[in-house]
Amino acid sequence: MNNGATPAPAPGGKRRRNRRPPPKISPADFERAALRHLQRFPCSAEGLRAVLLRRAKRSHTHHGGDLAEAESIIEATVVRMAALGFVDDRRYGRALVRSLRARGGSLRRVAARLYAKGIASPLRDELLEEVRAPQAELEAARTYARRRRLGIHRPLAGHGRSQEPEKIEKTENDREAENTQRQRDLGALARAGFGFDIASRALDEG
């Protein structure tokens, strides 16, 4: 007979773990939660607000209370984390931009990611301006093409590059297949946020 001391096995033979109830809303709990989160996952001020709001809602569901009061505690916690240097939207945003560009992120994709991560518009525009140069966009497209093995970076795509072009005879089917593949590659770059001219150069120049 199960006296409640041991959780009953769940379907499949695994035991269900009883989840601890969330702590009650308090400034001390929110500060501890904020520090734990930021140590593992750097984020923007808006991102931290979202994390703490989810925590507040879980606590409210279990314990009740005033969510409006929780929101004021959340705001005070975010302000304190910023004052202590744990939250810095400019630093976080710039690191995010560098990371995305290094992996071949287009300007459009970088802008969308900054927005999704809660970087506000004035700062977002500043950060994008730092990497808006056409050459930077082309380099990002080239990086993306290399990572995805598009164009001349596709295995065997450069098979004939070390040979003299005039010695390679291509059939009509070969040309059609190449054109179809090129359109697919252009489509992949377009979906990644690159314009046609930049995408074409990235495929052709490597």
- Its pTM stands at 0.73
Q: What are the pLDDT digits (tens) for 163-199?
A: 444 455 667 777 788 888 999 999 999 999 999 999 9
Residue 81's CB is within 10 A of a number of other CB atoms, namely 22
Q: Give me the half-sphere count of Cα atoms (radius 13 Å) on the Cβ side of residue 61.
A: 8
pLDDT band for position 134 (cuts 50, 70, 90): confident
Q: What are the pLDDT digits (tens) for 85-115?
A: 999 999 999 999 999 999 999 999 999 999 9
What is the model's pLDDT at position 8? Answer: 53
